[in-house]
Structure 1
Amino acid sequence: MIRIHDSILSTIGRTPVVELKTLSPSHARVFAKLESFNPGGSIKDRLALGVIEAAERSGALKPGQTVVEATSGNTGIGLAVVCAAKGYPLVITMAESFSVERRKLMRFLGAKVVLTPASEKGTGMVAKARELAETHGWFLARQFENEANADIHSATTAREILDAFEGQRLHAFVTGFGTGGTLKGVARVLRAERPGTRILVAEPDNSPLLASGIAQPRAADGSPAASHPAFRPHLMQGWSPDFISKLVADAAEAGLIDETVPVSGRDALAVARRLAEEEDILAGTSSGATLAVALEAARRAPAGSNILCLLPDTGERYLSTPLFADVAEDMDEDELALSESTPSARFAAAPAPAPAPAAEPEVDPQAATFIAEMSGDPGRPVVMFALEWCEFCWAARRIFQALGVDCHSVDLDSVEFARTRLAGTIRPALKARTGSPTIPQIFIGGTLLGGCSDLVEACESGRIAALLEAAGVGYRSPQALDPRRFLPQWVHPRRAAG
C-alpha cells in the first residue's frame, strides 16, 4: 500500500536493492543499494536525521538554534532537508573545490554556504565549522566523530540489508568511506549477524589513507589535528577526505574491515558511465568507484556468490565535474543527420518564405501614455517591459541584481496584467515608440537602453555606469562583472553548427 507521509523526513531510508544483471559476471550476482532514492538524493539524509534527532533527545540542540557542519556537499544537502523540516537555521562550510551543483542545492534548500580555500582541503572546512560554532554558539554536527552517525546506519541501513537478503547468503558488502558512519554502522551489524560476509572498503588508489598504515594525527575530541600524510587530491567527491575520521578508525580498530581495495579515478568514471548506459541507473563518481570494486570482487568470487555494494548518491550533482566532461551540449554528427532527415525545425534548413507583412495595429493612446508614465517615473528610474518566463528577461533581471540595481519589471504576460484594460496593447505601443518588437525593453532614467543584448553591451563597454549615474541610481562596479554568464546556455557561437 502507498503510505501518506506527514513529513518528508519519514521518507528517508528504505531504499531499494537492485540486481545488476548486465554488468554482473555470469557466475556471480552483484546488487546495488540505491541511496539516491532518499529525498535529498543521497545516503547522507540518514546521517542528517540521526545526528539532529540524537541532539534533540540529548538537549545538545535547542529549538531554533543554528546548526553548522563541514561537508563536501551531500551531508549539507541532507542537513538542509532535515533542518528545513524541523525549523533550524543551517550554515555549511565547504571547500571551494567541490561541485557547484551542491552549493546551489544547499542554498536552494535554505542553507548558508561558507566556502573555504581548496588549498586547505577538508581539514580547513572542518576547522572553519568549529570556529563558527564556538564564536556564535551554534550546534556543530561533527559528522566525522558523532556516534549518532554510525547508530542511524546500524538501525536502518544494516537492517534493510539483512531484510533484503533474508534466506540468502551475502558473500561481500562493498562500501567506500567518508565520515565512516556507514562503514562502522553497517559493518558491526553484519559482523554480528552475518559473520560470513566479507567487508570490503574501497579507497582512491592515489590516496591510500587506510592502506598506508599511518596513524591519523588527532585532537583530544577525535577530530583531525592535521591532514593525513598519504592524502592526495582525487576524483571521488565525498570519499576519503584528507584525514581518517574517528568513525573510520573505530571500524578499522574493531576488525570490521576484511580488505581495503584501491580504485582509480579512471575506473570510477568508466563504471559510473556504464552503470547509466547499461543498467539505467544514474549515480555519481563515488558510486562508480564502489561498483568498480564490487565488480572486481564478483569476478574473483566463487560461483553463486552474492555481492552487495552501496551507491551513495545520484549523478545529477556531478554535471560540472569530469564525470560529464565528455557529454556534449551541442548535437554530434549523428544527431545533426537525424535533424536533417526531416524538413522542419532544422538549423541548416533554408528559412521559410516570410509571410506578407500584416498591417500594423493602431497604437492605443492609453498604452502609449502608460509606457511614457512608467518609463519616466522618477520613483522607478530603471524599468523593464518584460515577459515573466522569457530567458532573456531573466538574464536582464539577474544582471541588474548583480549590479545591485532595483529594476521594476512590467510583466506583460502576467496573470495580473492580463486582467487590465491594457492587456495586448502595450507591445504595439512599445514597437511604435522604440522601433523594435522585441522584449525586454529597458529604460533608465527615461532613456531607452534597449533589450538584453544592449544591456550586456552597456555593461561590457562601461556605458551602463554613465546611464545609472545620470539617473541618480547607485550601483556596484560593473568592471568585474561578466554579463554574458547570465545569458541562456544555448546562446552559443557554434549553435548553428550543431
Structure 2
Amino acid sequence: MGRRYNSILETVGHTPTVRINKLGPSGVNLFVKLEAFNPMGSVKDRLALGVIEDAEKKGLLKPGQTVIEATSGNTGIGLAMVCAQKGYPLVVTMAENFSVERRRMMRFLGAKVVLTPAAEKGSGMLAKAVELAQAHGWFLCRQFENEANAEFHSRTTAPEILDDFSDIQLDYWVTGFGTGGTLKGVARVLKERSPQTKVVVCEPDNSPLLGSHLPQARADNGMPASSHPSFRPHLMQGWTPDFISKLTEDAVNAGLIDEILPIKGSDALQASLNLARQEGIFCGITSGATLAGGLQLAQSCAPGSNILCMLPDTGERYLSTPLFAEIETEMTEAEIEISRSTPGYRFDKPSSPPPAPTASPVKATPEAEQFLHDVLTDHSQPVVLFALEWCEFCWSLRKLFGRCKIPFRSVDLDSAQYQQNNLGGTIRAALNAHTGYVTIPQVFVGGEFVGGCGEVFDEFKSGRFQERLKKASVSYDDSVSVDPYSLLPTWLHPRN
C-alpha cells in the first residue's frame, strides 16, 4: 500500500505472501497467500473487478444496467463493492443454506439478495440468475464460464506470486477450484513462466468431482446442464459447487493440474482454528481446507521444498457455520474463574451503589413542558417514542416499528438537536413528571402513555398495541408476524 488511491477498486490485489512458522513439518517451507487482504476480504474481489471492467470495455454492460450473478457469497460481496463504486444496481441469487453473514454484507453494500431453496444446490441459484437475467435484460456475470475471470488472475495474481518467489524456487502451488478462475488464470502462467512448479488442486473428500474423473453434463453455452453425479454436500462453502465449472474443465483439459488432493471437512476446520491460534491468521473454512492440503503435501515432499497455499477469504463470514460451533458467546468456566479472581465488576455480585449526586437535579422548564404538550397533541404524528440515540432498548422498539411499518416520531433526548441549554434534560424531567416513569424509552400513542420497551412488547403480543394504533387511525402492516422479544439485544440472554 503506502500511497493514495483514486477509489477502493485500485486496492484490489497485491495481497501478501506469509510464511507459516509453527504448523508445518521441519525442513519444508510453507507459505500462504492471504486473499483476505483484498478490500472486501476475499479472492473474489479480483473476479468481480475483472468481469465488470471487461463487460464495460466490450460494451456488454451499459450505464445504469442491473448486474446479476449466482454466488455462495464472496463473489456477490465483491460485486456489491464494485457495483456500488461504479453505480450499477446488483441482484444476487444465493442458496439459502449459505452463511447469513454473507447475505447481510451484500445487502449492506446495497445489493438485492434473492434466496433459492437449499435442495436445488448451486445449480438452482445459477438457474434462477439466468432466468432473472433473461426476463429483465440484466447483465449476467457468468463467473463460472467467463474468461475475464481467469484473465484477471493471469494479469494480477500470477505475477504477484512470481514476484514473491523471484529469489527462490516455488515447488508447489496449492488451491481449491470453485469457479476455476484462480486455478486456470494462475496455473497457465505458472506452467509457462515457472514450469518446475506443480499445481495441486484440493477438493472435499466426500465430494470428489475432479477425483471421480466423471464428465460434467454441459449446455451449449458452457453452463452446467445438471449437478455432477459425484457431488455431495460439504463444509467448504464456495470451494466446490455441485458442478464442475467450464473454467475448471478448461484447466483439466489443458493439463494444468499435476495432483488432486481430497480434504476432510474436519481437517479443514482444524486447520482454520490452528491458523488463528498458532499463526494469528484469521481465515475461513476454505482457507483451512487449502492449508490442510498443503500440510498433507508437506509430509511427503522433498526436504527444502517451497509450498504456497491460496487462502481465499477471511473468517468473519463463517460466524454462523460449523467453524464457530464450539466458540462460546458467553463466559466459559475458565473465564468465570478469571472474573472471580478479583472482587469487582462481576455479574455474580451486586453492583456497588452509585455515588451520591453532586449536582442539583434537572427541573422541567416552561419551554420543555410546552414542547411535551405540543408533541403529545400533534395528531399528524400520534405515535411518539421518547428515546436515547444509541440505547439498545430504543433500537429494539425502532426495529419493531420498522418491521410493521408503523410511522412514529422519535424524540432523541440526548441528540445534538436537544443539547442547547440542556433542552433534552428538561424535556425528560417534564416527561418523568407527566408519566411517573424515570426510565427511557417511553412510548405514547394518540397522546396516551403506553410504557417502555417491555410494556409495548407485551401489548404487541396481546394485540392491545394494535388496537391503540387503530383507535388513533395509524396505518401499519398488520400482516407482519414477529415476536418482539426476539428484537432485544442478545446480551440480555441469561449469562453463565
Is the TM value for this pair above 0.5? yes
Query: Hey, what's the Cα distance between the residues in 2 that align with 1:486 and 1:333?
Result: 28
Name the residue aligned to 1:213. 213
Q: How does 1:260-409 map to 2 (within 5 A)?
A: 260-353=260-353, 361-409=362-410
Name the residue aligned to 2:168. 168
Query: Hey, what's the Cα distance between the residues in 1 that align with 2:377 and 2:337?
Result: 51
Uncovered stretches (5+) of structure 2, i.e. residues with no partner: none
Which letter maps to 1:222? Answer: G
Indicate conservation of the 8 Å contact 1:462/1:478, yes or no.
Answer: no
Describe the superposition over 1:159-201 as per-residue Cα deviations: whole angstroms up to 9, x where unpaired: 1000000021111111011100000001111111111111111
Indicate conservation of the 8 Å contact 1:173/1:199, yes or no.
Answer: yes
TM-score by length of 1: 0.97
How many Å apart are 1:361 and its aligned residue? 4.7
Name the residue aligned to 1:427. 428
Describe the superposition over 1:288-316 as per-residue Cα deviations: whole angstroms up to 9, x where unpaired: 10000101101111110111000000000
Indicate conservation of the 8 Å contact 2:368/2:430, yes or no.
Answer: yes
Secondary structure of residue in 2 paired with 1:13: coil
Indicate conservation of the 8 Å contact 2:271/2:289, yes or no.
Answer: yes
Describe the superposition over 1:373-412 as per-residue Cα deviations: whole angstroms up to 9, x where unpaired: 2123110011101111111111110110011111210111
Pairing 1:203–2:203 present: yes
How many Å apart are 1:218 and its aligned residue? 0.7
Name the residue aligned to 1:416. 417
Secondary structure of residue in 1 paired with 2:83: helix
Pairing 1:35–2:39 present: no
Indicate conservation of the 8 Å contact 2:20/2:30, yes or no.
Answer: yes
Query: Hey, what's the Cα distance between the residues in 1 that align with 2:248 and 2:298?
Result: 24
Name the residue aligned to 2:463. 462
Query: Hey, what's the Cα distance between the residues in 2 that align with 1:26 and 1:360?
Result: 69
Uncovered stretches (5+) of structure 1, i.e. residues with no partner: none
The 1:369/1:186 distance shift into structure 2, 3 A limit, reads same
How many Å apart are 1:149 and its aligned residue? 0.3
Query: Hey, what's the Cα distance between the residues in 1 that align with 2:162 and 2:353?
Result: 68
Name the residue aligned to 2:443. 442
The 1:383/1:189 distance shift into structure 2, 3 A limit, reads same
Indicate conservation of the 8 Å contact 2:93/2:116, yes or no.
Answer: yes
Secondary structure of residue in 2 paired with 1:114: strand
How many Å apart are 1:486 and its aligned residue? 1.7
Describe the superposition over 1:336-395 as per-residue Cα deviations: whole angstroms up to 9, x where unpaired: 122122222111123324666897654323322322321231100111011111111111
Which letter maps to 2:412? Answer: D
How many Å apart are 1:14 and its aligned residue? 0.3
Indicate conservation of the 8 Å contact 1:202/1:261, yes or no.
Answer: yes
Query: Hey, what's the Cα distance between the residues in 2 that align with 1:383 and 1:90?
Result: 36
Indicate conservation of the 8 Å contact 1:462/1:479, yes or no.
Answer: no
How many Å apart are 1:489 and its aligned residue? 1.3
How many Å apart are 1:461 and its aligned residue? 2.0
Query: Hey, what's the Cα distance between the residues in 2 that align with 1:8 and 1:114?
Result: 26
Query: Hey, what's the Cα distance between the residues in 2 that align with 1:379 and 1:467?
Result: 15
Name the residue aligned to 2:130. 130
Which letter maps to 1:190? Answer: L
Which letter maps to 2:71? Answer: T
Query: Hey, what's the Cα distance between the residues in 2 that align with 1:108 and 1:351?
Result: 38
Describe the superposition over 1:252-306 as per-residue Cα deviations: whole angstroms up to 9, x where unpaired: 1111111111111111111101100000010000001000010110111111011
Pairing 1:483–2:479 present: no
Pairing 1:90–2:90 present: yes
Identity among equivalent pairs (%)? 60
Q: How does 1:9-24 map to 2 (within 5 A)?
A: 9-24=9-24
Pairing 1:73–2:73 present: yes
TM-score by length of 2: 0.97
Secondary structure of residue in 2 paired with 1:18: strand
How many Å apart are 1:459 and its aligned residue? 2.2
